[in-house]
Structure 1
């Protein structure tokens, strides 16, 4: 439910205290009560309006003086959020409205004038639905991006800008960040640097009423809250055949590893732990080379969509620490792989160095595969986000 907007009773009392008494409104006419009659505020859209575009702002203007209260609600009593201008003389909605919905707006001016408008927003021809990641309430690593997935393509810069303007980010420790369009159905948010440990984040996608194409509107809002856990950063060297795992900057484990052999080189770049699975069957058919291998593996931490994992490889323990023999994954001993699996949170940073193959942006959530300046270029608004405070 969205909060309505009203001028507090204390402000009303202060305004009333300026009256010269009696039943009038004060000023040069004193208390004669007849010459300064209350004037109703002006409301747009007008009472009885149909097929109102839900992305157009609803406005209220006082004929004179200030507004005392404004309430905009649907038939179920859910209130739409709005903001009063600094001078108190006007009000407008902060976000879009739900399509195919009847609203009633009631406004009262400080001089006692009141106005009401009941109107109905248009029914969209097609609906824009959405999903978000990480999951509500998750504790995640310092590299996690916020992913907003959309059910329909958002192709134009104008429509993408409208979506970005509907996205509200709040943090317990505000740091700059930005949105980037990964595709026409996905826009992601990352901070400029890794998230601070302990950061609490809330993202609200005010998508109701957002128009993304002719006749295509968002129908409901979506929100997400999560907490950033410890700063886990693992650096993997293909040349030293070694992985150093840090927690808050302190090395907590050094693991012997084996990376991709020549021709199957591992990716060099900054990745995140995308997901974990205790048991997987690694099948070369999924990489376009059926029959090359089909091996059950344990303690798997995924790094890319294309199938790069850190996992246990008991068959290559002799190579771990001295040579690269894998098909592109990071092989570790069963004990090291199990420890790493249990230690790792979704969104933890894993950086691989020393190979000839560079990580491709978009091969999984890869917000750190590009510089901040390049990331910012993927925003339709072309500017950083200044988050609010939780």
Structure 2
């Protein structure tokens, strides 16, 4: 082959290259045009009536994702809201009004930007006549809590087992930075706790919404209110009390900062052993045990910090300072000196972990905020909804005596007893 012919062949090869590229582009475009269009099915169904004011706009999507939701009432006013993390529904930011008609318009977008829009119009129920289950959210707004603070919701009367999944689905917790957890019910349904596998990180913001107003709970009752609060987590403080030594050890960020002599409950009225959380702090309060077993006294106390619903506190007890560090003489409380009690009030927060060990009786589930008194695996078993498989405790950092270790309950009605 001469040089002229070889050059001619090379030129033909170069000229053919753009044609090959153009053919591949045309094939991809044709495949995109054949993709099925996006579609969405909505709930409540169109023209549905007697819908609870707790209703969400359910969105079952194929071949796309929800790109917009617009919910308006019968006066044209738009309702705010946001989607669930799993995209299964769109949740209004507050309960809907009774006896009103709403229209939801949902747009979904598929591959290539193709869209589809669907509407549903429904009417809410009139004001219910069924009695309510009263809910209490033990998580106030604009507070600073300890790193063991569980979000606690209590119910009166208790939530029946078959209704707990529906209730739990309407309990929302957001953390910033993200630190996912789960809810766990007491066996009797009187309380439900939320926590992560590990302590909250200091500085975390926690936003809670118990969106229960108008929610059907079982066959006979309704939810009572829509409650919400946002607070933050403060410094890490943990308190350990050892009955064997009659000493309290106070840790901050895992480091021992103080030891304090204590006197715990005498054998006839023993203190509980277990992992508790500081629930309340009172500069001054009154213990009135008249009518209670082994009670019958009324006494004013200073610097009292509640640990259980049954009336166990850490508090100032100048009358037992000679026994502190040596002998148990209280009615179940942790007695400390007036000076130590004042220091504790300055250095602890509601939500700090308090661990008591070595006494005659174990802490009863639900006698206080007992979310940390079980391992994470045991805690997760109490959820009425599936817990994500990946939600597991992280390997523990440097352990300290205040770190976490791995039935029916009394009603959460505070007792003023102590001692």
2:122 aligns with one of 113, 119, 123: 119
Unaligned segments of structure 2, at least 5 residues: 1-32, 34-38, 392-419
2:90 aligns with one of 89, 94, 100: 94
Correspondence for 1:140: 145
Distance 1:354 1:64 in 2: 60
Within 5 A, what are the aligned runs for 1:21-40? none
Between 1:214-223 and 1:354-363, the stretch displaced more is 214-223
User: Could you report, residue by residue, the CA deviation over 1:139-186 in whole angstroms, capped at 9, with x for unpaired residues?
Assistant: 1111111112345542133x2111222222211132342211234343
Q: Could you tell me how far 1:215 is from its partner in structure 2? A: 6.3
Within 5 A, what are the aligned runs for 1:140-289? 140-150=145-155, 153-157=158-162, 159-182=163-186, 183-208=188-213, 210-214=215-219, 216-218=221-223, 221-285=226-290, 287-289=292-294
Correspondence for 2:407: none
User: Could you report, residue by residue, the CA deviation over 1:201-259 in whole angstroms, capped at 9, with x for unpaired residues?
Assistant: 11223435633223644476432211111111011111111111111112222111111
Correspondence for 1:346: 350
Distance 1:146 1:364 in 2: 12
Unaligned segments of structure 1, at least 5 residues: 1-26, 28-39
Correspondence for 1:8: none
Correspondence for 2:79: 79
Matched, 1:105 2:122: no
Distance 1:236 1:144 in 2: 19
Secondary structure in structure 2 of the residue aligned to 1:201 = strand
Correspondence for 2:49: 50
- Evaluate the alpha carbon distance shift between residue 383 and residue 335 of structure 1 in structure 2; reply closer, same or farther with a 3 A threshold: same
The structure with the largest alpha-carbon Rg is 2
Within 5 A, what are the aligned runs for 1:294-373? 294-373=298-377
- Evaluate the alpha carbon distance shift between residue 125 and residue 213 of structure 1 in structure 2; reply closer, same or farther with a 3 A threshold: farther
Q: Could you tell me how far 1:41 is from its partner in structure 2? A: 9.1
Between 1:59-68 and 1:346-355, the stretch displaced more is 59-68
Between 1:224-233 and 1:110-119, the stretch displaced more is 110-119
2:269, 2:294 within 8 Å by CA — same for their partners in 1? Answer: no
Q: Could you tell me how far 1:380 is from its partner in structure 2? A: 1.1
Between 1:122-131 and 1:173-182, the stretch displaced more is 122-131
- Evaluate the alpha carbon distance shift between residue 294 and residue 226 of structure 1 in structure 2; reply closer, same or farther with a 3 A threshold: same
- Evaluate the alpha carbon distance shift between residue 220 and residue 239 of structure 1 in structure 2; reply closer, same or farther with a 3 A threshold: closer
- Evaluate the alpha carbon distance shift between residue 94 and residue 321 of structure 1 in structure 2; reply closer, same or farther with a 3 A threshold: same
Distance 2:291 2:197 in 1: 34
2:147, 2:235 within 8 Å by CA — same for their partners in 1? Answer: yes
1:95, 1:206 within 8 Å by CA — same for their partners in 2? Answer: no
Q: Could you tell me how far 1:131 is from its partner in structure 2? A: 3.4
1:177, 1:386 within 8 Å by CA — same for their partners in 2? Answer: no
Distance 2:144 2:251 in 1: 18
Secondary structure in structure 2 of the residue aligned to 1:94 = strand
Q: Could you tell me how far 1:337 is from its partner in structure 2? A: 0.9
